[in-house]
Amino acid sequence: MNRIEKVIANLAKNNMCGYYVDSKNDVVPLIDTLIAEGSTVAVGGSVSLFECGVIDHLRCGKYNFLDRYAPDLNPKQIQHIFLESFRADVYLSSSNAITEDGMLFNVDGNSNRVAALCYGPKSVIVIVGWNKIVRDFEEAIHRVKTIAAPKNNMRLITGTYCYTEGACSDERSGNGCKSIERICCNYVLTSYQRQKDRIKVIMVGENLGY
């Protein structure tokens, strides 16, 4: 059994449904089979969704898309979309890491994404490149601190420690990040779902996102 097969088998043990596609170009045709026309759909912040063409596809008119990326939205309107997303039929996002034993690890600043993963939307579709597979929880934390957080801070142009230094500050030393722009506020490990197959994970055989 290869690494991706192992992850998908362990997702099933954790009551999550796993899929595999070879390429990011295969993602949209698959999600089209998982989302009924007319569904209310929302998304979390994700570079991977853009890379796979998912955001453009959701704007095609087949769905009621709660588009957090629509131009000219003000902060109040974006906050309204975040709250309405909990009522969505389908919520799409990526994940910061996925362990070989089928657990999702995510770290957020606003935390609307991790909140929706935990509760609210009827169905959640997580799109993950194979670069995000890690051995275990410890490796997942290391990946966020050394890869995901620094790169996302560079993308968002924050003033955080990892934006300037390229890695997370050491929380255990008592000198952890105190920036108001900190994007690592809530750490969520999704290890099991009571509602079978509510979370569907699409594994992609390419590097995606951070």
Q: What is the DSSP string of 57-68?
A: HHTSSSSEEE-T
Cα–Cα distance between 143 and 134 in angstroms, integer?
Answer: 8
Domain assignments of the chain as residue spans, ordered by start: 3-99+111-134+187-204
Task: Report which DSSP code applies to 119.
Answer: S
For the domain spanning 3-99+111-134+187-204, the CATH number is: 3.40.50.1360
> pLDDT tens digits for 18-38?
999 999 999 999 999 999 999
Task: Count how many residues are written for the chain.
Answer: 210
> pLDDT tens digits for 109-162?
889 999 999 999 999 999 999 999 999 999 998 898 887 777 766 666 676 767
CB 23 within 8 Å of CB 206: yes
Cα–Cα distance between 33 and 42 in angstroms, integer?
Answer: 17
Dihedral over alpha carbons 62, 63, 66, 69 (to 10 degrees): -30
> pLDDT tens digits for 79-96?
999 999 999 999 999 999
Arithmetic mean of pLDDT, 37-59:
97
Produce one character per residue of 92-109: b if its CB has 16 or more CB atoms within 10 Å, e if not.
bbbbbbbbbbbbbbbbbb
Signed CA dihedral, 107, 112, 116, 119: sign only: positive
